[in-house]
Amino acid sequence: MTDRKTHSIALVSSFVLLSSCASSVDSFGDAVSYEPAESTTTKNVILMVSDGIGFNGWLAADYYQGRAGEQSYQVVRPDGTVPLVYGMTHDALNLIDASGEIISDREDLPNAVGAVEQGYDPLTRWDRFEGAFPNDFAPVNAPYTAYTDSAAAGTALMTGRKTSNGRINMDWSGKERFRTIAQIAMDLDRSAGTVASVMASHATPASVIAHNVSRNNYAEIFNEMVSSELDVIMGAGHPYYDASGNAVEPEGDEAFQFIGGKETLAALTSDTGLNGFAFIDSRSDFEALASGAKVPERVVGIAQSNSTLQARREGLPSSDTPSGMAFNANVPDLATMSVGALNVLSQDNDGFFLMIEGGAVDWMGHANNMPRFIEEQVDFNLAIDAVISWVETNSSWDETLLIITADHETGSIWGEGTWTNSVGGPVALDATEDAIISARYDPTEDIFNEFRAVQDRGAGNIPGYQFATGNHSNELVPLWAIGAGSDAFAEFTRTDLKAAELWGEPYAWDGRIVDNTAVFSVMSLALLDDR
Ligand SMILES: [Zn+2]
Residues 6+ apart with CB under 8 A from 69: 62, 75, 506, 507, 508
- Judged against a pLDDT cut of 70, whether residue 140 lies above it is answered with no
When pLDDT is cut at 50, 70 and 90, the band that residue 431 belongs to is: confident
User: If you measure from the C-alpha of residue 416 to the centroid of ligand 1, how many angstroms do you get, rounded to a whole number?
Assistant: 23
pLDDT tens digits for range 146-168: 689 999 999 999 999 999 999 99
Termini Cα distance of the chain: 15
Helix residue ranges, H only, 395-495: 433-439
User: If you measure from the C-alpha of residue 484 to the centroid of ligand 1, how many angstroms do you get, rounded to a whole number?
Assistant: 31
When pLDDT is cut at 50, 70 and 90, the band that residue 137 belongs to is: low
φ/ψ (deg, to 5) at 398 = -80, -15
Tell me the C-alpha distance between 298 and 401, whole Å. 23
User: If you measure from the C-alpha of residue 362 to the centroid of ligand 1, how many angstroms do you get, rounded to a whole number?
Assistant: 5
- The pLDDT of 95-101, averaged and rounded, is 88
* Furthest-apart CA atoms within the chain: distance in Å: 85
- Judged against a pLDDT cut of 50, whether residue 229 lies above it is answered with yes
pLDDT value at position 2? 35
User: If you measure from the C-alpha of residue 101 to the centroid of ligand 1, how many angstroms do you get, rounded to a whole number?
Assistant: 25
User: If you measure from the C-alpha of residue 334 to the centroid of ligand 1, how many angstroms do you get, rounded to a whole number?
Assistant: 19
Q: Output the DSSP codes for 33-59.
A: EPPPPPP-S-SEEEEEEESS--HHHHH
User: If you measure from the C-alpha of residue 341 to the centroid of ligand 1, how many angstroms do you get, rounded to a whole number?
Assistant: 25
Distances, alpha carbon 282 to alpha carbons 150, 176, 197, in Å: 28, 39, 14
User: If you measure from the C-alpha of residue 366 to the centroid of ligand 1, how many angstroms do you get, rounded to a whole number?
Assistant: 7
- Judged against a pLDDT cut of 90, whether residue 488 lies above it is answered with yes
User: If you measure from the C-alpha of residue 269 to the centroid of ligand 1, how many angstroms do you get, rounded to a whole number?
Assistant: 31
User: If you measure from the C-alpha of residue 120 to the centroid of ligand 1, how many angstroms do you get, rounded to a whole number?
Assistant: 18
User: If you measure from the C-alpha of residue 242 to the centroid of ligand 1, how many angstroms do you get, rounded to a whole number?
Assistant: 21
pLDDT tens digits for range 15-30: 333 333 333 334 444 4
pLDDT value at position 444? 84
pLDDT value at position 45? 98
User: If you measure from the C-alpha of residue 297 to the centroid of ligand 1, how many angstroms do you get, rounded to a whole number?
Assistant: 33
Task: Indicate the SS3 state at residue 344.
Answer: helix
More confident residue, 116 or 110: 116
pLDDT value at position 480? 98
pLDDT tens digits for range 192-222: 999 999 999 999 999 999 999 999 999 999 9
- Judged against a pLDDT cut of 80, whether residue 11 lies above it is answered with no
User: If you measure from the C-alpha of residue 408 to the centroid of ligand 1, how many angstroms do you get, rounded to a whole number?
Assistant: 8
- Judged against a pLDDT cut of 80, whether residue 54 lies above it is answered with yes
Quick one: 296 exposed, middle or buried, by C-beta within 10 A (0-12, 13-18, 19+)? middle
- Judged against a pLDDT cut of 70, whether residue 470 lies above it is answered with yes
Q: Give the residue from 346, 315, 309 showing the smallest Cα distance to 329.
A: 309
pLDDT tens digits for range 307-348: 999 999 999 999 999 999 999 999 999 999 999 999 999 999
pLDDT tens digits for range 65-80: 999 999 999 999 999 9
Bridge pairing between strands 512-515 and 84-89:
parallel
Residues 6+ apart with CB under 8 A from 214: 166, 167, 168
* Conformational region of residue 483, where left means phi above 0, alpha means psi within -120 to 50, and beta covers everything else: left
pLDDT tens digits for range 501-516: 999 999 999 999 999 9
Q: In 332-386, where do the E strands start and end? A: 352-358
User: If you measure from the C-alpha of residue 19 to the centroid of ligand 1, how many angstroms do you get, rounded to a whole number?
Assistant: 51
User: If you measure from the C-alpha of residue 473 to the centroid of ligand 1, how many angstroms do you get, rounded to a whole number?
Assistant: 10
pLDDT value at position 380? 98
pLDDT tens digits for range 230-287: 999 999 999 999 999 999 999 899 999 999 999 999 999 999 999 999 999 999 999 9
pTM: 0.91
User: If you measure from the C-alpha of residue 143 to the centroid of ligand 1, how many angstroms do you get, rounded to a whole number?
Assistant: 17
